[in-house]
Structure 1
Amino acid sequence: MPFRIFIPIILSFMIFPFQAQAFEGLVQTTDEGGSIAWGNGEVSVVRSVEGAAADESDQALSPMAVRKAATQARKELLDMVLSVRIDGHQTVGAFLSGDSDLAAQVRGLIQNSLFQGPGLYEEQGKVRVSERFRGPLAELVLPVTIQFQSGIPPKLSTATSQNVDMPGNAPEQVGGGNRGYTGVVVDARGLKITPALAPIIYGQDGYGAYGTFQVSRTNAAEKGVAVYAVDDDPKVLQERVGSRPLSVRALSAYGSWRTDMVISAADARLVRAIVKSGPIADGCRVVILVDRPEQPEQPKGEGDA
């Protein structure tokens, strides 16, 4: 085998394993074959090609049937994107409803989303389309009205603070530097948190501890303000938060959609201090642990008790 051919083959084996191990985090699925991976931001839909038989080769599939399946999958993909919550106030769909130009750009992006045909990466007779809440899509759906990197922590509304103890003055930052912490892990399991693109973590002191006010819009679009995970294995989370993250416990969910969390006042002061130092905010190195999605009950067979 010529040397110039041998090298690309070696490189392909070096590259693809890393891609296969991309951090997926929490994965939510739909009955229509869709899924959202809140670790890497990928939204995908897998759709069967109409008329495909189990024993039929992919080459025999009608191009028209494949095109139809792809069109249906992209429609489902768009519906999924529009249903995602930006924050506790609005979904992507609600935000885009007020801007026809942005809405058209998002539709165009989905229309040209990544396509994988039958027999390539998916099961026989299936197509897969995907987009990511990173880069171009995130740039379109993150409202410019959000005060990214303002340095001013938002304050909980006293009318809906859910009995949170709120002093009159903002809490002081504690210490200097990040004390060697490489990220933040917020354990919100048991609180029925709703994932969102721009969640806010508040302290019991009533002020934001982490959120868009601490990260740039560019970093938020490229990395996600925070990611969601169901596995608390440090080796799994290390890709996002490094080898020595600060772990804190969420005490309650906040807002009617339960997108935001409240942690203790002491934890909030520490989070503000270590995030303020730079690397954690620049890398959006925050993971929110949530419950595993409930699995639908399997119908019992005739022989089951």
Structure 2
Amino acid sequence: MSFRIFVPILLSFLLFASPARAFDGLVQTFGADGTLSWGTGELSVVRPVEGAAADESDTALSPLSVRRAVVQARKRLLDMVLSVRIDGHQTVGAFLSGDSDLAAQVRGLIQNSLYRGPGLYDEAGTVRVSEKLRGQLAELILPNTIQFQSTIPPRLSTATGQGVDTPDNAPEEVGSGTRGYTGVVVDARGLKLTPALAPIIYGQDGFGAYGYFQVSRTNVVDKGMVAYSVSDNPKVLAERVGKRPLMVRALGAYGSWRTDVIIAASDARLVRAVVKTGPIADGCRVVILVDRPEKESGDADAARTAKGAGDA
């Protein structure tokens, strides 16, 4: 083979053999079988097929036992969806409890969730079901009462700072310094934050700096309002926030469920100015850095979340 032919083939192999890895972000576990990746929004459950032996081929598994494992996995998947917090006030389960039609649609979607296995890609003798907190599912579980893109920032019941300007008359930093930012990263590590679908980043002045009021419902459904991550590696975060994100430090978490973040008033003014540039809001290019989850976080967290599902 001539060198002129070999080089293009080699380059093509290198280009397509290693596709870019999806930004999984924080991977929250639910017991031993469920995971939720807050970067991609993917929920998945891997369930063993009853009666599967280590030395038994997957083709020998009975269709009934496989079907039973899939049903159990999808039930687990539904429980995980219901335990996800929408915001500091309610879980998905609490929201759906007031609308039987929506609840039925969510159940139907989960009952037809993507199924894989046994043994195609995962460990032999297991089945895997998955769904995403994006697209159709997000449309169903995000309340219509959320006023997306209203441009009216919410206000904390008690402001955390005194003697600072409100967003209406605060001197926002403008010019090339803000236009150059490609996203926002809020470092909330150490604050024991609870991930949610619609968190709010507040300034110490008590007004929202980023949240549903700045982004469209369509963009949130497609991308998620924020992504959570345990890694501060710029190369990892770049997929979500670009190569030059604005980095700010969180000062505290707000609410009984600690879903919202509080940053300095000066940082809040800068975040508001940066988000107004368009691409950041359109792409929901915001990442919140959180601590790595504890090992036992799965069932314990789901139980605590279910207990607080009706919180208002």
Q: TM-score, normalised by structure 1?
A: 0.89
Unaligned runs of 5+ in 1: 1-10, 298-305
Residue 276 of structure 2 is aligned to residue 276 of structure 1: yes
Per-residue deviation, 1:295? 2.5
Superposition CA RMSD, Å: 2.1
Residue number in structure 1 paired with 2:183? 183
Are the equivalent residues in 2 in contact too, given 1:226–1:284 (CA < 8 A)? yes
Cα distance in 1, alignment partners of residues 257 and 190 from structure 2: 15
Q: Are 2:107 and 1:107 equivalent residues in the alignment?
A: yes
Equivalent residue, structure 2, for 1:302 = none
Matched, 1:48 2:54: no
Instruction: Name the counterpart of 1:207.
Output: 207
Aligned to 2:162: 165
Query: d(CA) in 1 for partners of 2:64 and 2:205?
Result: 60
Does 2:234 align with 1:234?
yes
Shift of 1:18: 3.0
Aligned to 2:19: 18
1:118 equivalent in structure 2: 118
> What's the counterpart of residue 244 of structure 1?
244
Structure 2 letter corresponding to 1:66:
V
Does 1:262 pair with 2:259? no
Runs of 4+ in 1 over 4 A off after TM superposition: 11-17
SS of the aligned residue for 1:252 comes to strand
Unmatched 5+ residue regions in structure 2? 1-11, 298-312
TM-superposed CA distance for 1:30, in Å, is 1.8
Q: Scaled by the length of structure 2, what TM-score is found?
A: 0.87
Q: Comparing 280-289 with 28-37, which one deviates more in the overlay?
A: 28-37
2:216 matched residue in structure 1: 216
Does structure 2 conserve the Cα–Cα contact (< 8 Å) formed by 1:25 and 1:39? Answer: yes
Distance 1:12 1:133, change over 3 A: farther
Number of equivalenced pairs: 284
Question: Which deviations, in whole Å up to 9, do the C-alpha atoms of 1:38-76 show, x marking residues without a partner?
Answer: 000001100000000011000000110000000000000
Query: 1:176: Cα distance to partner?
Result: 4.4
Name the amino acid aligned to 1:261: V
> Which residue identity does 2:167 align to in structure 1?
A
Pair 1:125–1:231, CA change in 2 (3 A): same
What SS class does the counterpart of residue 35 from structure 1 fall into?
Answer: strand
Name the SS of the counterpart of 2:179 in structure 1.
coil
- CA distance 1:139–1:128, shift in 2 (3 Å): same
Match of 1:198 in 2: 198
Which structure has more relative contact order (CA 8 Å, sep 6+)? It is: 2
Asked if structure 1 preserves the Cα contact closer than 8 Å seen for 2:167 and 2:269, the reply is no
